[in-house]
Amino acid sequence: MSFAGTILRSRAMAALTSPHGVDRYLEQINPMWAAREVRAQVLSVHRETGGEHPVATITLQPTSTWRGHRAGQYVQVGVDLPGSRRTTRCFTISSAASLPGETITLTVRAQGEARPGQSVSRWLVERAQPGDLVHLSQAEGDFVLEESPATPTNNHLLFVTGGSGITPAMSILRTLLRDGYDGRAGRRVTFLHYARSAEDQIFADELAEIAAGDNDVDVVLRHGSVFSEFELRRLVPAYAETDTWACGPAPMLDLVREAYADSTRLRTELFNVASVVPSGAAEGDVAFSRSGEQAANTGATLLEQAEALGLRPTSGCRMGICFSCTATKSSGTVRNVLTGEESSLPDEEIRVCVTSPVGDCVVDL
């Protein structure tokens, strides 16, 4: 940590730059300067597939505040969409494990309606250009490889993925091949992936190259078919006793879980599970005591509900990272929309950008 970095991250500097925070001022000088927040510049966009929901790989150069990631983790990505407030979604990192400050890649399928400016995934796939800036969280998630790629073992590893769920498994596979001895995974690896068609196959060229290589990896691609326990047993007879990572759409994961029954060797990641937790039915009223504004609870975050009433609370990342939107909740129950955790403590400090009310709620804004 540099001396300048220590000063910029100090409490004294936070007090001097309150309420906006030092990162707001650094961003004005150079978008890639940050003391606490993580931002990233788009370096390139590579189209993987076409069609109604195209897939692209976006290469990002994070700021020096990026702490690196473990293969299989995801990251929150915040984008200032045209004519809209900053919108945040979660995406798995598809590149091999990174160290602080290293480039990463996200492989994203364009989802949502075809208004390109109103969807983070569509903006990333269809609008992002080299030089554009996005906001990141630190890497999160425990769908990761525990053992060291640099140490060969007899462990057989199995990956079962579907559609865009290939991304965390690809990150792990890339890490194994990159960090293993002489370009080998160092243990037997079976990589079973399901795609709707050959045209929808993500990483097609790279997987073909891996399949042809002498690297301990068996690549099995299935196009237009669905997961079956019969096929898995044929490929890996002892699959229930094999360390397995499965990621894909919910119907496929249901079949995989049924095949593994009570086996503890299966790890699953529902694709897009890391998105914002729905708040459920919205009830009660939300009151902002300092301004005297009050309205029926819409279920949106407290920051969004305050802004809908014309208030302008201080906020920064809108991702729950920078803490600049922290306010005191006087009473009521609230839910963290990232974790789903609820709290009813009185006079509690909350981040209004990632908190939604559950029933009646009073906040000091």
Percent of residues, the chain, with pLDDT higher than 70? 88
pLDDT, position 212: 96
Its pTM stands at 0.76
Range(s) of the domain holding residue 15: 1-37
- 109, 172: one domain: no
CA–CA separation, 247 and 72 (whole Å): 10
Residue written as tokens 């709290």?
343
- Structurally, the chain folds into a number of domains equal to 4
Dihedral sign (CA 314, 316, 317, 321):
negative
CA–CA separation, 71 and 101 (whole Å): 16
User: What is the overall mean pLDDT for the chain?
Assistant: 87
The string of DSSP letters for 23-90 reads: HHHHHHH-TT--SS-EEEEEEEEEEEE-SSS-EEEEEEEE-TT---B-TT-EEEEEEE-TTS-EEEEE
- 224, 317: one domain: no
Q: 319 with 76: CB under 8 angstroms? A: yes
Q: Is residue 279 part of a domain?
A: no
Mean pLDDT of 222-244: 95
Q: What is the pLDDT of residues 186-218, one digit of tens each?
A: 999 999 999 999 999 999 999 999 999 999 999
Q: What is the CATH number of the domain that holds 340?
A: 3.10.20.30
pLDDT at 280 over 60: no
Q: Is residue 73 part of a domain?
A: yes
Q: Is residue 152 part of a domain?
A: no
Q: What is the pLDDT of residues 249-278, one digit of tens each?
A: 889 999 999 999 989 999 998 755 344 444
- 59, 4: one domain: no
- Side-chain-side CA neighbours of 158 within 13 Å: the count stands at 20
- 173, 209: one domain: yes
pLDDT, position 95: 97
Phi, psi of 233 (to 5 degrees): -65, -35
Q: What is the pLDDT of residues 297-328, one digit of tens each?
A: 988 889 889 988 988 887 767 777 667 788 88
Strands of 104-109's sheet, edge to edge?
86-92, 74-80, 133-136, 38-49, 55-62, 104-109
pLDDT at 229 over 90: yes
Q: What is the CATH number of the domain that holds 171?
A: 3.40.50.80
